[in-house]
Amino acid sequence: MAPAASGHLSYGQFLGRALTAALVAPIGFIVVLFGLVILAAGCTAALGAGATGSTSSDPIAVTDHIDGDEGADAVILVVDVQGVILADDGGIGPFGGLVAGGEQIKEQLEAAATDADIDAVILRMNTPGGSVVGSELIVDGVAAVQAAGKPVVAHVTEISASGGMWAMAPADRIVASNGSLVGSIGVIFGPLSRYTDVVAIDGGILGGGVETTGGIEQFYITAGTGKDAGNPFRDLTPSEQAMFQALVDGSYDDFVNHVATNRDIPPATIINELGAGVFTASDAVDNKLVDETGNFDRAHQVAAELAGITGPYDVRSITPDLGVLGLLLGRSDQPDRADVSSICSPTPMAHAYFGDLAAWCRQG
């Protein structure tokens, strides 16, 4: 994987500067003309690629040097798992923070597995969890890297809880920063809503709303055979509650077995002692959820040791490949806004998330 910097001057910025030069020097006209030729050629190429559907298929084509020795033959690739985990693509979340796309991260890991220039991978974790499906997709990507004979080290920068714990459990080594939080092995299902004492339903031109005297209660089922289970105009029956609970328990059993197998912790210890608790880094070491405490430098030292790298190494992180149109339009390296409908849907779903997911979704 050839090192590629992403700090480009956009064509829009380039032409703006050239136009300024054209006002004070004849050579500026030549520069502007040359820039316009490149602009036209770039647009033609980009539009042609769009018409044929051919775009760059390498999700790790563009990377930045962030540590180690730039240009060294040995490369450690950093794959970020930042923010709430979704099943699909990540990007900017509903109130500005990042969200992690499980499918997108899986593709990055699979590309790292087949790239002969990459010797090891670090998962840089800073997530409260999220989608069970998205977390499992990351696990699939980790397995692909390991199947290629390359080590995967997870590093917890601030938090790796619930779905984050699920995603990083199979890593060859887990390093957690002092002060970070790890754990929350549990599953939550919802949200379910209950309208109490409905007195009016306004259809209205714009859809109206529901008027109640008892308010609206929103709740979750944690750890669940009516056709209308989840109907907000009535309470769940005991059998419906049991159905949803069984769904949550099934996901929880998968979670427990997954962590128990990959971290060599007896399932009974997870269920009866650890529960869905969140632990500091040092306590997480004692409970075998992580292997050691340490900063990011320690994480890439561990990755180098596991990969058998004895000389210098280049630590690189993935940056968005905006393509020709991105450069032509002067776009920055900021990712697009993420589609959070899969995790903020009103349809009740099982999630591996630490915190108030409904409150997170409402901030959009």
47-to-12, 43, 68, 323, 325 alpha-carbon distances in Å: 18, 6, 39, 12, 9
Q: What are phi and psi of 311, to 5 degrees?
A: -105, -160
* pLDDT, tens digit (0-9, with 9 covering 90-100), for 252-289: 999 999 999 999 999 999 999 998 889 999 999 999 99
Return the pLDDT at 237.
78
Report the range of poorest mean pLDDT among 40-54, 177-191, 304-318: 40-54
Mean pLDDT value of segment 97-101: 77
**Residue 169 pLDDT class (50, 70, 90 cuts):** very high
Return the pLDDT at 334.
55
* pLDDT, tens digit (0-9, with 9 covering 90-100), for 116-133: 999 999 999 999 988 889
* pLDDT, tens digit (0-9, with 9 covering 90-100), for 212-241: 666 666 666 665 334 345 545 556 778 878
Mean pLDDT value of segment 329-334: 48
Rg (C-alpha) for the chain, rounded Å, is 25
Mean pLDDT value of segment 16-34: 50
| pLDDT over threshold 70, residue 170 | yes
For residue 284, what are its two tokens? 């997480």
